Amino acid sequence: MNSYSCPTLLISAPASGQGKTTITAGLAHFLTKRGKRVRVFKCGPDFLDPFWLSLASQNPVYQIDLWMTGEDDCQNRLRAAAEHADVILIEGAMGLFDGDPSAADLAIRFNIPVMAVIDASAMAGTFGALALGLEQYRPHMKWAGVLANRVASPGHATMLESAIANPQHFLGAIFANAEMGFPERHLGLIMSSEIVNAVQKLDLIADAIETSNFGETILQRLPSFAVEYPTKTKKTLSQKLLDHKIIAVAKDAAFCFIYQANLDVLEKLGARIQFFSPLRGDPLPICDAVWLPGGYPELYAEALGNHQELKNQLHIHIQNQRPIWAECGGMMALFETLITADGQSFPMWGALPGTITMQKRLGGLGLQALHLHDQEIRGHTFHYSTCTSPLKAYTQCLKKTETANNASGELLFQKNSLQASYFHAWFASNPLATASLFLPQDCQQ
């Protein structure tokens, strides 16, 4: 059995908002500019951070999670990256020990060194206590050290360094600069493709890393971060259930929550993917099935609702019993009405009866599983809207939480050949069940 070794670093923090995405992207960009082949992964479900991480590393970014994607999937993706990369970076989710499974669980399972990014802007000696607590809270977790972020001055950096119990664990300090942060909105970071100066922003962060002691420290210590990844036997798809099927996938600023792994699965099932942009006014391509992924239909509700040609084509597609899988934002566009957070009401595509109403607080968050045809597809939900519909749900997802398994999750609506839910599916968790989303009912086993 072949194995591959590669320096790997899991970058986490004591909480969200500490700057771990900025540092991970900046470090990936810094190392790439130094000629290193860098692969980056995102721990847990996340569509938005990977846009920046991919731009920084110049490589696709995949999600890894011990529950949603599965342990074997994590190992196979890490091993495949180790075969070709000089460095692997993994950005954690939330705080280091938050979630079930957490970023720490992933690090312990694969013996990956952990670096903590701590916003030190309002602390001095407490920085050392916090770093020590993160290091020692879980036994068997390999500790790489701590980076002080948003530091006020060289004198402040000296105080922070002196607070660390083991001087070897202080990896450096990045000085505060408001220009280095990534812009955000209600669902998270704004996509890098929407920012005119996205590359310049990454350059700024990479330059800050280079001018600090952090960059050289990481370069010197990379060999000590080496992790061995044995080859895991992969399950091969023996059935090309979507062979010769054309799947039209909406892709633009309104429909942008698309996991690269999901596209990979569809192609491995034999499908040919045809992208189209509802925002650009594209008609529905000639296709066997449609995937309307999540995104931001609420930001473009008027333009989407006015795309009468596409609306008519989707209705005909459904009448002809051709499948549509619509998740979250894709589902929202298919209802009759969308009400924005400021109270404006827009007519949408009307394939489903009911109304979507945006709100300023979360309407759903967390890992969930969808059971269809005695098969389970794992995934998650994350949305700021509510749905009211006279249509009775076909089935309901199950939550995966720290306190209760099998709690009620998102509804799945079915109308003729249309299936829609707030649920975001991770296709690789069950490719065979995924195929059923894109096949007519009479073709399903």
Query: 281's torsion region: left (phi>0), alpha (psi -120 to 50) or beta?
Result: left
Looking at residue 253, its amino acid is: A
Please tell me which residue in 328, 387, 397, 443 is annotated as part of the active site: 328
Whole-number Å distance between alpha carbons of 92 and 116: 10
For the question of residue 328 being annotated catalytic, the response is yes
Which DSSP string do the residues of 161-192 spell out, in sequence order? HHT-SSGGGEEEEEE--GGGSPPEETTEEPPG
Tokens of 385: 């809207």
List the structure tokens of 109.
């399972």
Q: Closest Cα to residue 206, out of 38, 94, 46?
A: 38
Distance CA 246, CA 272 (A): 5
Q: For residue 328, is it left (φ>0), alpha (ψ between -120 and 50) or beta?
A: left
Pairing of strands 3-12, 62-64: unpaired
Task: Output the DSSP codes for 274-286.
Answer: EEE-TTTTPPPPS
- The residues assigned a catalytic role are 328
